[in-house]
Amino acid sequence: MKEAQAVAAEAGLTVVPVSTGAEQAKKARPVTPPREMPAPGAAGIKSGLLIDQMECIIAPPPFAEPAAKTTASAGAAGKPALQVVSTTVVQLPREVLHISMNQDRSCFVVGTTVGFAVYRSDPLALVFKRDFGRGIGVAALYYQSNIVALVGGGPIPQFSPQKVRLWDDLQGKSVSELQFGSDVKNVLLLKDIIVVTLETKLHFFRMSNLQQLREVETFPNPLGVCTVTYTEHPKIAYVGKTGKVKIEEVLGGNLCELPEKSKTPVNNLSFSADGTLLVTTTEHGSEIRVWNGLTGVLVKKLRRGSSGALIHSVNFSHHPESYLLAVTSNLATCHIFSTGEGNCQSKLSYLQAVSNYFTSEWSFLHFTAPSEKSLVFFGAKRTSLIIITVHGRYMKYNLTSPMHGAARDDTMLAESRNFFDNPTVYIRTDDDEACA
């Protein structure tokens, strides 16, 4: 975190770290009532937001109240009469457009049709939020700070979908932006590097001065699928122009290319914490493949099921000595695999000469989970698993019992909450400054 603060300082950013673990629990207190933001200071980000103070900050809408206009006729006292301009007000439901974790998974940020919100992930707690009244389609939190990268989205976007804005929530304004010629699909923030994903390109920028470092052409990527490591020498995995997954150093330098081109598009990529393993899934969704993150050699074929499924999310646990892998899909099931020993084997493994299907390993644990689009990750404890959904559900599961076979979700579910606090907000539709 100290290195991230030093990098931020070069860019004029001051980041105040958040406490973690038991210290977080001691400091956590109920969310204070919403308050207005202080007046913005000079240009640039001057001070950080104390995330562990658990303050909920809600900005006023990004448009002014209708201005009064004078008419040509005079009033009784000889003063111009006032005519208030009519303004159309519609009710927009709060819906999730994007969910992402910060670099150490201690927080997650949610982009919605009306703004964005940052939450502590375990235990769940609202940190700060912004209700613009307009949509945020992509949001990425810079470590544990008041800095968020925002991209407009949804039916009525707050910002242009072709711009990345670095938002300082303490000042309540954008302090810098990056403009592109097409819609931004994803944004990843490293210590001093911003990675921006477009449909057919990756762009790399230095955060301290927004200098472009390089750009890479990719296979058509409408979902913005790519992943990075947050190690001392960060790596990136993405689908190259040929359709094969490439692993490179973020600053340039090819490491390897996976030997096989998928028959269906890749829809998930995820590194283990140390970057030694890479998991890939495709739109078919029946098989999960684990690769060596340094050499590109196939390590394991894991079987989610015999039928196809839309895999929503896949993530490794935090512990490199024995990585676990969690997978959620639209079939309302969460599967837990081991990257070592302990997975289930097919009872027909003796038919492996007939088909590779019979050599696959199956999850050692599975249970019922939400079917809607979700993000799955392991919590602060090794035995806790968290699922966040686009319907605003936060569900934490205890993996201690049982640890093999099918499990009843009601015996494993330790916490189930809705992280939305207001179902709807009101917006004005005639604001000319939106999508600037």
pLDDT, average across residues 279-308: 90
Residue 76 in tokens: 């009784």
State percent of the chain over pLDDT 90: 54
CB 208 within 8 A of CB 187: no
> Cα 103 to chain center, whole Å?
10
Q: Which of the pair, 66 or 389, is modelled with greater confidence?
A: 389
Residue 183 in tokens: 């819609």
- Sign of the Cα pseudo-torsion (206, 212, 215, 220, in order): positive
421 vs 190: CA distance, rounded Å: 30
According to the model, what pLDDT value does residue 434 have? 46
Residue 58 in tokens: 């809600």
Of 1-15, 205-219, 372-386, the one with minimum mean pLDDT is: 1-15
Report the SS3 class of residue 10: helix
92 vs 19: CA distance, rounded Å: 35
- In tens, the pLDDT along 335-350 reads 999 988 878 876 655 4
Q: Which of the four pLDDT bands, split at 50, 70 and 90, describes residue 166?
A: very high
pTM over 0.85: no
The DSSP secondary structure of 106-141, one letter per residue, reads SEEEEEETTEEEEEEETTEEEEEEEE-SSBEEEEEE
Is the pLDDT at 222 greater than 50, yes or no?
yes
- Say how many C-beta atoms besides its own lie within 10 A of residue 214's C-beta: 11
- In tens, the pLDDT along 389-420 reads 999 999 999 887 545 555 555 568 888 999 88
167 vs 37: CA distance, rounded Å: 14
- In tens, the pLDDT along 9-55 reads 666 665 655 544 334 444 433 333 333 333 333 334 433 443 433 33
Q: Which of the pair, 304 or 140, is modelled with greater confidence?
A: 140
Q: Which of the four pLDDT bands, split at 50, 70 and 90, describes residue 381?
A: confident
- In tens, the pLDDT along 255-264 reads 899 988 888 8
Is the pLDDT at 361 greater than 70, yes or no?
yes
Question: HSE of 400 in the Cβ direction (CA atoms, 13 Å)?
Answer: 6
Is the pLDDT at 69 greater than 80, yes or no?
no
Type of residue at 57: I
According to the model, what pLDDT value does residue 66 have? 35
